[in-house]
Structure 1
Amino acid sequence: MRDIAEGLASWHSAGVRFAVATVVRTWKSAPRRPGAAMAVTESGEVRGSVSGGCVEGAVYEVAREVLASGEAVLKTYGVSDDDALEAGLTCGGVVDILVRPADDDHFPELPAVLGHIATGRPVAVASVLSGDAYPGGNLVVAPDTAGAAGTLGNARLDAAITEQARGMLAQGHTGVVHIGRNGEQRMDQLAVFVQSFAPPPRMLVFGAIDFAGAVARIGKFLGYHVTVCDARPVFATRERFPDADELVVQWPHLFLEEHPVDEDTVICVLTHDPKFDVPLLERALRTPARYIGAMGSRRTHEDRLTRLREAGVSESALARLSAPIGLDLGARTPEETAVAIMAEIIALRWGGTGERLTRTELSIHH
């Protein structure tokens, strides 16, 4: 829902009635992950997607029915179902989709959830999928100890789900929890969908060059919180980097010393200048960043490795460095190069091979 949150906030503030369809479970080669959402208004306007086109038409009709009835519906679409085949889900996957009204009567906590998403604050939303708990209830959970908003039916259930939701939120995990109707951990009378909205992962782009502008644009498009950093104020300008969330004029290695890096952060070093690269990479390779890539020719990279070894960087640390940066796409322009860089980041994140799918027999959706 994060990708349509701004639009939902606009609809809500304008008093528009709408329903939200959310993927809550998937099996096999389902095209979208749990949490993917599509919203439909009374007038028929649509935002988002739950299947990349496979079942949107069928879900659209269900959403219109839900708006008319005011009752939430859980629908399953799979390759063996006539409805799914008719709707076009021929990829072999199976999806459970929860469709529910999103007005003040049925989801009064929605504005608070959208506010958390808009400001980058972590939040989780728990909803009962099956069982005899409070129908249509939602529990909104923040990562602190200030309590939760809403209810799933009773205090003990709310307390148990709050604890589990905070753990899932800390890991950025969205999924279904099975639990007893009063929060008993060893029972499974209820299926509760917990959707986590963790802050977007960070992308640190060092070097205010044209390639950095393209990387920032695509990184932002893919959901990263993008910071562009360069020590040269004449190049690090908002006019050149309108898509960056943050623009910092500072020596890159000093910036990295002052800003903690977590396991979800990706670092792109595009300066290919030893006076910037070496002190920056020396520090970057000590962080738990998921990806560290550096631009430059193979000759530049060999020189860079020599300097880093002289600075005391270990071979195991150097093995984490993706350089030359990106996949071999034959890229020429800054935009094509940015696609190659982001393709490598995506492949490493999800375990992709970088091969053409037509040459593999692997699952399309890892």
Structure 2
Amino acid sequence: MKDLKLWKFIYDKIIKKGSVVLYIVAETSNSSPGKQGFKMAVTKSGEQFGTIGGGIMEAKVVKDSTKLIGSDVISSIHILHHDPKSDQEKSGLICGGSQTVITKILGEADLDFVEEVIEKFKHRSKCLLYVNQNSIKLIDSDIYNDRYNFNYTNSNKFSYKEICGISETAYIIGGGHVGLAVSKIISFLDFYVVNIDHRPDVFTFRNNEYANQKIICEYNEAGKYIDEGEMSYVVIVTSQHTGDKAALKSVIDKNVKYIGMMGSKRKIDIIFSNLEKDGVDRKVLIKVHTPIGLEIEAESPEEIAVSIAAEIIRIKNSKDIKIM
């Protein structure tokens, strides 16, 4: 996962170089190139990992990093305005918008903290990354659902919280050709991929090298393996309508960001009608994205996977869509 690689980079460079500058995009507005939660680490020699948006703005930040290490600055916060007409601090970009960037200098005294972050990601242990004007630390929490939270009074009083230890997770129910194709594409988008099927010997399931985790269980038990929260996405692509129905019934009450189900309109209507007869409220079924994916006339498993991934990206990046 991208965040795990970032923290490993920080740990290795502190061991070798002594200090690293960590940048965190705490808040953005309008067409800012960086997005909330973006991170970048830079060493004194200019080695870097991650991004806060790229372009001229990022190049300037990297150049300034060499001056920060060894200075008296331990922590700072800046609001970069992407507008050449602005009288405030300019980024050099013309896209219009702004982003608030927190700067933290991490050194040998922070090695235990960095190592703790790495261990949280390795074990997928949910916690909160907490940053303010004085410190950066982890807070244990398994009930916090908001991905990010930022409060700003001034440069001497601010706080930033972010869910840490886990990444966006795609639970793909169905280990066939479409399930394999979705696993492949969604893994490239830095999702943790869980593939669920009750058929351990199916070739596409057995040879799915893109899944971080494979779970063998009946479709009607899939729900108990799904973590709730706005970082969870459920994709139902089983090979039969009975499997789709069983899977959907097991996850429909889950508080997740996205549930999508593959199928023709006729098949979906039949499944929904059967679930209503089983006591599932039609109002609950409305939240299901079906037919799954954006409409791009997809036909092959790979094309279907692209349409599903595109829909998930739209949902993930929309600030107006909350968990269901």
CA distance in 1 between counterparts of 2:246 and 2:47 reads 52
Deviations 1:103-146 (A, max 9, x none): 214676222223323322233344444xxxxxxx42423226xx
Q: What is the match of residue 121 of structure 2?
A: 117
**Secondary structure at the residue paired with 1:271?**
coil
Give the TM-score taking structure 1 as reference length. 0.73
Q: CA deviation at 1:48?
A: 0.9
Q: What is the match of residue 51 of structure 1?
A: 53
> Which of 74, 79, 89 is the aligned partner of 2:77?
74
Point out the more displaced range, 264-273 or 282-291. Answer: 282-291
Q: What is the match of residue 266 of structure 1?
A: 233
CA distance in 1 between counterparts of 2:313 and 2:274 reads 29
With CA pairs under 8 Å and 6+ residues apart, which has the higher RCO, 1 or 2?
2
CA distance in 2 between counterparts of 1:88 and 1:96 reads 15
**Secondary structure at the residue paired with 1:21?**
strand
Deviations 1:48-93 (A, max 9, x none): 11124351111111111112436244333211457965x5321111
Contact kept, 8 Å, 1:203 with 1:224, in 2: the verdict is yes
> Which of 230, 245, 248 is the aligned partner of 2:197?
230
Unpaired runs of 5+ in structure 1? 130-136, 145-165, 179-187, 354-366
Q: What is the match of residue 152 of structure 1?
A: none
Q: What is the match of residue 204 of structure 1?
A: 171
One-letter identity of the residue aligned with 2:301: P
Q: What is the match of residue 251 of structure 1?
A: 218
One-letter identity of the residue aligned with 2:140: P
1:88-167 map, 5 Å = 88-105=92-109, 109-129=113-133, 137-143=134-140
Deviations 1:308-365 (A, max 9, x none): 3443433223322222111112333333322211222233344489xxxxxxxxxxxx
Give the TM-score taking structure 2 as reference length. 0.82
One-letter identity of the residue aligned with 2:5: E
**Secondary structure at the residue paired with 2:295?**
coil
Identity of aligned residues (%): 21
CA distance in 2 between counterparts of 1:280 and 1:259 reads 12
CA distance in 2 between counterparts of 1:70 and 1:214 reads 51
Q: CA deviation at 1:280?
A: 2.0
Unpaired runs of 5+ in structure 2? none
CA RMSD of aligned residues (A): 3.1
One-letter identity of the residue aligned with 1:8: W
Count, aligned residues = 312
CA distance in 1 between counterparts of 2:93 and 2:243 reads 50
One-letter identity of the residue aligned with 2:160: V
- Greater per-residue strand proportion: 2
One-letter identity of the residue aligned with 1:9: K
Q: CA deviation at 1:217?
A: 2.7
1:180-195 map, 5 Å = 190-195=156-161
**Secondary structure at the residue paired with 1:174?**
strand
**Radius of gyration: which is bigger?**
1
Q: Indicate how the Cα distance of structure 1 residues 60 and 13 shifts in structure 2: closer, same or farther if over 3 A, else same.
A: closer
Contact kept, 8 Å, 1:38 with 1:46, in 2: the verdict is yes
CA distance in 1 between counterparts of 2:145 and 2:319 reads 25
Q: Indicate how the Cα distance of structure 1 residues 37 and 11 shifts in structure 2: closer, same or farther if over 3 A, else same.
A: closer
Q: CA deviation at 1:28?
A: 3.3
Q: CA deviation at 1:298?
A: 2.8
